[in-house]
Amino acid sequence: MARALLVIDVQNDFTEGGALGVDGGAAVAEGITRFLQENPGRYDLVVASRDWHHGDDDNGGHFATGEDPDYVTTWPRHCVGGTPGAEYHPALDTSLIDMHVRKGQGVPAYSIFEGTTDDGLAFTEALDRLGVTEVDVVGIATDYCVRASALDALGAGREVTVLDDLVAAVNPVSGAAALVEVEDAGGRVRSSR
């Protein structure tokens, strides 16, 4: 039985100044780095996900083309693989990350469980191989990819805790609702402290 930290989408395009920047995103990047530095050995595995979209198509309707994005199912171009926007925020110390997962490669994807590792494994398979039964979830954005990842982790039979001081929401109201939804589904929400 192993424990993992899932660091969700702490990328330049999701932090202040990015294509879909979230207030507090840079502080989340700094906070996750500090948390990992202050808690060595707390996790058997640290995994980070990134949106990694194609730049030459609409990614299965994920990118709005020809009309304004609705910010529900269609979005402006963001996190195009190989661009600065898709890279991790510089305040996130990537030397502390053991496994990298890319998601949304040509299709809409919100949850880390929709992604694959750098060596091509489905994320659930990678966790199974490593015996991960418990995950803590941090990152961006609480009301979208953090929510989806936490709910999918619960659906995959993991014990799940969202560390609410290490997440940032697009909207405070929908962010709070997402945390309630995770609790209602059997997860926990608490501070990292």
* Active-site residue set: 9, 103, 145
Q: Based on the number of CB atoms within 10 Å of its own CB, is 37 exposed (0-12), middle (13-18) or buried (19 or more)?
A: exposed
Q: What Å distances lie between residue 11 and 19, 111, 152, CA to CA? A: 10, 15, 21
Q: Closest Cα to residue 133, out of 117, 100, 151, 156?
A: 156
Measured in degrees and rounded to the nearest 5, phi and psi for residue 181 equal: -60, -40
Cα atoms found within 13 Å of the Cα of residue 62, Cβ hemisphere only:
21
Residues 176, 24: Cα–Cα separation, whole Å: 15
Task: Count Cβ atoms below 10 Å from residue 105 Cβ, excluding itself.
Answer: 16
**Which ranges in 57-122 belong to alpha helices (H)?**
none
Cβ pair 132, 45 in contact under 8 A: yes
